[in-house]
Chain A
């Protein structure tokens, strides 16, 4: 039984987080979010035009189990930037409104250049969907 020493699921999640600068663990996909909190978080990222990797946690309950034990965060969605947990829907929404999210993502002048487009008109940067091998 090598089960205690190796944990492929945990390693796959850690790998995905370190390989993708911006990665969102969510319910459903960016095209078809399965939960309002995930949908809102996707909408915020898309309105900033920031490409992001997305992982659907629904297909296998172990994804969420391992993710939450890794991140010490109980709810979904979870956004990671540069390997660090930034937050879930509440924190992302607050940070978006205060401009901190744009800072964290390294988006400059998002607020002073153009007066914040209400709706993302051109979905310019399609999110990278990382294949759900988890």
Chain B
């Protein structure tokens, strides 16, 4: 409920993921500090899980662990769905 610009929101995370990873669809939940992102993208095809998660972490760079205290990730390729 806070409008503190410092506080990250699930909506912000979702739109940044979708804007950065081509074709990505994301569902993000969270309380401003701990977030859970479920992301599917054609870009994940053929990548290891580690590489898929790195793509998502890379959207936020050094913010992970700082402003975004914790980010749980679950990735799906388009063909998984």
B64 within 8 A of A: yes
Size category, A interface: 10 to 19
Determine if A75 and B74 form an interchain contact, defined as CB atoms under 8 angstroms apart.
no
Q: How far is the CA of A75 from the CA of B34 in the complex (A)?
A: 12
Known contacts: A37-B70, A75-B65. The answer to whether A90 contacts B53 by CB under 8 A is yes
Determine if A74 and B64 form an interchain contact, defined as CB atoms under 8 angstroms apart.
yes
Among A74, A88, A89, residue most surrounded by chain B Cβ atoms (within 10 Å): A74
Separation in Å of the A27 CB from the closest CB of chain B? Answer: 11
Other-chain residue from B64, B65, B71, B74 in contact with A94 (beta carbon distance below 8 A): B74
Q: How far is the CA of A87 from the CA of B75 in the complex (A)?
A: 13
Q: How far is the CA of A48 from the CA of B16 in the complex (A)?
A: 38
Q: How far is the CA of A37 from the CA of B62 in the complex (A)?
A: 19
Separation in Å of the B52 CB from the closest CB of chain A? Answer: 9
Determine if A89 and B72 form an interchain contact, defined as CB atoms under 8 angstroms apart.
yes
Among A37, A90, A94, residue most surrounded by chain B Cβ atoms (within 10 Å): A90
Determine if B53 and A91 form an interchain contact, defined as CB atoms under 8 angstroms apart.
yes
Q: How far is the CA of A72 from the CA of B70 in the complex (A)?
A: 16
Over the window 94-106 of chain A, the binary record of Cβ atoms lying under 8 Å from chain B Cβ atoms (1 yes, 0 no) is 1100000000000
- 5 example contacts (A-B, Cβ-Cβ < 8 A) are as follows A37-B70, A75-B71, A87-B49, A89-B72, A91-B53
